[in-house]
Structure 1
Amino acid sequence: MFRLRPLFVLPFLAFLLSTTAHRIEIDPGGKECYFENLQPQDRMTVTYEVGGSSGGHLDIDFYVVEPRGEVVYTNFKEPQGTFSLTAEVAGRYTYCFSNEMSTYARKVLSFNVHGVLYVGDDEHIAPVESEIRDLSSGLQMVKDEQAYLVVRERVHRNTAESTNSRVKWWAIVQTVILFSVCAWNVHYLKSWFEVKRVL
């Protein structure tokens, strides 16, 4: 019977699946670029979502450049997105988030990067290693979904608070207008009757 050794599993999981999560702010007219060094058959996935903006729309430009300098993916003015890539050549793969289309709004962006390193032909790996790969992939999907839900909750909370603030101030303005109109009506009617008495 094959016994699974923890000393084998932990390094393999660390090697198989690497994940990073980031939250950044991008100034108006600016962009942020990052890169990953990949070998042929390595897989990389980037998921992102704009979680806040100092005015304007919740959108961002996203593009990926391969080591030869060719743009392999673009996604313009979208609030969120997912991109997966299997490397064909070894080298530095650059992905950028651009806020250059905005002249005044700063964007708050959350993004996750994860990848699976190519470790050989799937037919020649042990069943335990295959199960570990599946488990790692499922775990990553759960983490990505959780990160997505956190960002969505933040966006909806900010929207609800903004709406609540606008409704409050609109109610205050309406109340002030109502009392002002009532005061003016009372004053006008009072002055009208005073004029009538004098006549």
Structure 2
Amino acid sequence: MLRSQIPSGGSLLLAVLFLTALVSTPARAVTLTYWVGANEKACFYTNVNQIGKKIGFYFAGQAGGNFDIDYTVTDPHERVVLEGKAEKQGDFVLNGNVLGEYSFCFSNEVASREDKLIDFDISVEDEVRAEHADASSPEASEVAKDDMKVDQSLHLIASGLNRVERDLKYFRTRENRNKNTVLSTQDRVFFFGVVDTIAIFAVAALQVFAIRTFFSTKTSKF
């Protein structure tokens, strides 16, 4: 977290600090969209350099199959932290209790032909608490209180932005799935329409042939 010392009436400095805080992020994040091929297992990694840091893990199936995927999260000692089978979406927060590299793997080994599009996000908390000034004097105490208020406000803003980001990702996922459903339905309607048309022409041709055969037989008897 960016440290600040704001004197009374320092509205301009507060505005600059606020804009700077909005540009800077409190976490290292990796947002990716990846096609997991049939019979493929794809792994991604992130490093935790301090015990107790929070690890955010989000994924959602965007296309392919039933939008589901198998996933496994392991710690640096290769112990399974999280796993799931045929999950369409997940949003987790883990505690980085072990230093080192964590792996996040997606498996599409069950599917033989279907590739799957996965949208996922891996973030590691990268937040440094401000070391406030020594509160040995009333002025320093006031500055420290102002710093704490600014820190709390920025935490609330960051939390709100994270919620908005998650909601936008959810709506994007729903839009992609609904679009895929509509396209699939259109394909089915077109296919059955073609089949019905062919069947109608086939029945009509069969009826004409049957009637002509019937009258030809009657005529030959006379």
Q: Quick one: which of 16, 39, 60 aligns to 1:49?
A: 60
Partner of 2:101: 92
**Secondary structure of residue in 1 paired with 2:185:** helix
1:52/1:58 contact within 8 Å kept: yes
Mapped contact 2:35–2:117 kept (Cα < 8 A):
yes
Once the two structures are TM-superposed, the CA of residue 2 in structure 1 deviates from its matched residue by 6.6
Which residue is 2:155 aligned to?
133
Once the two structures are TM-superposed, the CA of residue 68 in structure 1 deviates from its matched residue by 2.1
Cα distance in 1 for partners of 2:160, 2:173 equals 20
Instruction: Give 1:6 deviation, angstroms.
Output: 2.3
Q: Which is higher, the Rg of structure 1 or of structure 2?
A: 2
Q: Deviations over 1:155-196 (max 9, x none)?
A: 211111111111112111111111111121122112201211
Gaps of 5+ in 1: none
The aligned counterpart of 2:82 is: 73
Give the match for residue 165 of structure 2.
143
What is the match of residue 24 of structure 1? 34
Q: 2:25, 2:170 → 1: CA distance?
A: 25
Aligned to 1:157: 179
Q: How many residues are paired up?
A: 196
Classify 1:11/1:67 alpha carbon distance in 2 versus 1 (closer, same or farther; 3 Å): farther
Residues 14/40 of structure 1: CA separation in 2 closer, same or farther (3 Å cut): farther
TM-score by length of 2: 0.79
Contact 2:21/2:154 (<8 A) preserved: no
Q: CA deviation at 1:142?
A: 0.6
CA contact (8 A) 2:27 2:127 kept: no
**What runs of 5+ residues in structure 2 fail to find an aligned partner?**
1-7, 131-143
The CA deviation at 1:95 is 1.1
8 A contact 2:72–2:80 mirrored in 1: yes
CA-to-aligned-CA distance 1:9-54 (integer Å, 9 cap, x gap): 626862523333211011112122112222222112111111111x
Give the counterpart letter for 2:68 in structure 1. D
* Aligned equivalent of 1:114, options 120, 123, 128: 123
Q: Which amino acid aligns with 1:135?
A: I
Moved more, 20-29 or 108-117: 108-117
Residues 67 and 88 in structure 2, CA contact (< 8 A), matched pair in contact too: yes
Query: In the alignment, which residue of structure 2 is the partner of 1:10?
Result: 20
Post-superposition offset of 1:136: 0.6
- Deviation of 1:117 (Å): 2.8
AA matched with 2:46 = E
Q: Are the equivalent residues in 2 in contact too, given 1:28–1:104 (CA < 8 A)?
A: yes
Query: For the aligned residues, what is the CA RMSD?
Result: 2.4
